Every structure is written in structure tokens, then in C-alpha cells.
Amino acid sequence: MRHVDFSPLYRSTVGFDRLFTMLDSLAQPEGAQTYPPYNIERTGEDSYRISMAVAGFSDDELSIEAHRNVLTVKGERKEEGNGEGSELLYRGIASRAFERRFQLADHVDVVGASLKNGLLFVDLKRNIPEELKPRKIAITASSAKAKQIEAKTAA
């Protein structure tokens, strides 16, 4: 099945309700990557946060890149030995590499990222340029003394 891009239609909508739709990328094909799990939350009027569960990854094994309205988070674990004489009986902690992409709306910038307790937090902020912000237009009343020009009739 083909992927249809509806983004030109969204440009004529009012507001920024599509931000979560674009971030979440719901139009991904079936069987899309589901690792690592993540949350998207609104932390303020113009600020958002993506929280990703990246247990077992250190900050030097993760990379975050924002380029042309696409946020890419990559993780690649380095091979580590279990030590001499130890044998892994069960692997429940995922150690596979991943790459997760998020489509960002226009004028959304990545503010920063932090790693705490196995969660990667990516903070986003919507910065609308002043010329694109809505402005109030004053309505002026028309003059009550309007001049009327009458045509002279020929006698």
C-alpha cells in the first residue's frame, strides 16, 4: 500500500493541532518499528517533551540529530563482555541498535536533551516568527458626513 502525504492539506488549517500527529507519525506502515517505546507530552503553551525508554544505553551510545523538520534519535550499544566465568542465561534487556524518526512541525526547535534513570528526554519549543503571528486589525468607522455629488440635469 502506498503512503499518501496529506501535508499540503494541513497548511490551510487553523492552529497547531497537527503537531502531535506529525510527531507521532501515525501514517507509518504496519509492522513499523515499535522499539524503543516513547511518550509525547505538552509541558507548556509552546513547549513539548519526547520521553524515550532507553534502558541500558549510556549518553555516549545515543545520538540526536535535527535536520529539516526531522528529529532522528539513534542508539547503538557497544559490545561488552560478561566477564570471565560468567554466562548469560536469559537476555531480557534489549541491546539492539535502533533509529527512531519524528516529523516536526514548522518552527519547532529542539531545545535540549537529557538522560535520567534510563529515560531520554528531548525538549522541543515552538518558536513562531513575529511576522507569522496573528495580529489584531483595527476597524475604522466611516465618516458620517459623506459628500454626495449630484449630476446636473439639462433643461
Q: Which residue has better confidence, 149 or 121?
A: 121
- For the chain, the structural domain boundaries read 38-78+93-132
Q: Which residue has the cell 545520538?
A: 63
CATH class of 38-78+93-132: mainly beta
Start-to-end CA distance of the chain, whole Å, equals: 81
Supply the Cα-derived Rg of the chain in whole angstroms. Answer: 27
What is d(CA 145, CA 142) in angstroms, rounded to the nearest whole number? 9
Ramachandran class of 18: left when φ > 0, alpha when ψ lies in -120 to 50, beta otherwise = alpha
pLDDT band at 22 (very low <50, low <70, confident <90, very high): low
Higher pLDDT, 27 or 119: 119
Q: What does the block give as the cell for 42?
A: 505538552
Cα 147-152-155 angle, rounded to 5 deg: 160
For the stretch 42-90, pLDDT in tens is 998 889 999 999 888 888 899 999 988 889 999 998 776 666 677 878 8
Top-confidence residue, 15 or 106: 106
Cα→Cα distances 118→63, 110, 113, Å: 15, 20, 13
Report pTM: 0.61
Residue 130's pLDDT is 80
Contact by Cβ (8 Å): 124, 109: yes
Task: Work out the number of other CB atoms within 10 angstroms of the CB of residue 36.
Answer: 19
More confident residue, 10 or 47: 47
Question: pLDDT tens digits, residue range 99-139?
Answer: 999 888 888 889 999 999 989 999 999 888 887 778 888 88
Give the angle 112-125-108 at the CA atoms, nearest 5°: 105
